[in-house]
Amino acid sequence: MLLESKCVIVTGAGGGIGEAIARVCSREGALVVVVDIREAEAARVAASLGPNALAVAADVRRDGDLERAAEAAVQRFGRIDGLVNNAGVDFSKPFLETTPSDWDRVINTNLRSCFFLSQIVIRRMLAQTPSGGSVVNISSVHSIAGVPGAAPYDVSKAGMAGLARALAVEFAARGIRVNSVSPGLIDTQIWRDLQAAAPDLEACLAYWRSNIPIERVIDPREIGELTAFLLSDRASCITGANLIADGGMTARLLSTAQV
């Protein structure tokens, strides 16, 4: 197993991509700390993973909650070997209508929490014996390309990828690897909401198939598999990378026009 007996914290693990990451890590032998603002959902996922999982209800915008999540991991499992910064919020609003509170909500949830939880966890990774570990930031294709009306989200995801590079360089010699994963369109609630809002479902599906070279949305489990690999010793030479997991969407020079 890739992660046997390694303690991994996953934020936003009460559903969606985070839950899928937690499940793959558990399958690969990890001791998983399921962190989510929704206490019931965190408990549900942890209970389904069995005795080697711990649920922690936490709002990643609160520094005290970040400290508490890391402390809970150490108290239960003795150390922290991996961190997945996955918790985040989506955003869509025209730039000229975006308010300071909009900006703060997105940046504090997606990027600030990633910075300070990484700081908390890396301190512990350096102090433990043996020292070291792996951090994975779940960014987005918005880290390399943008769409109108998503400026705070684009900034937050580009920041997560940039943070991974900065920390990778700073801590590589001390046994800590830091990478980011940038998913494309994933089969989560956002995709289901997009379909529900479409005036013509078949046209919506056809449009997205035409703009994703593999002609399908990505299963959250696929992001879990990639993340588990990056957390594992098999990825021992990979640090500072931003792995694009979008089915080829951003590799295409031009999008196919909707018809």
Catalytic residues: 153
Q: What is the 3-state secondary structure (H, E, C) of 2-40?
A: CCCCCEEEEECCCCHHHHHHHHHHHHCCCEEEEEECCHH
Six-digit token pair at 4?
């046997």
Phi, psi torsion values for 136, nearest 5 degrees: -125, 125
Q: Which of 15, 111, 136, 119 is nearest to 67 (CA)?
A: 119
CA distance linking residue 145 with residue 190, whole number of Å: 18
Could you count the other beta carbons within 10 Å of the beta carbon of residue 174? 11
Residue 8 near residue 30, CB atoms below 8 Å: yes
Residue 17 near residue 183, CB atoms below 8 Å: yes
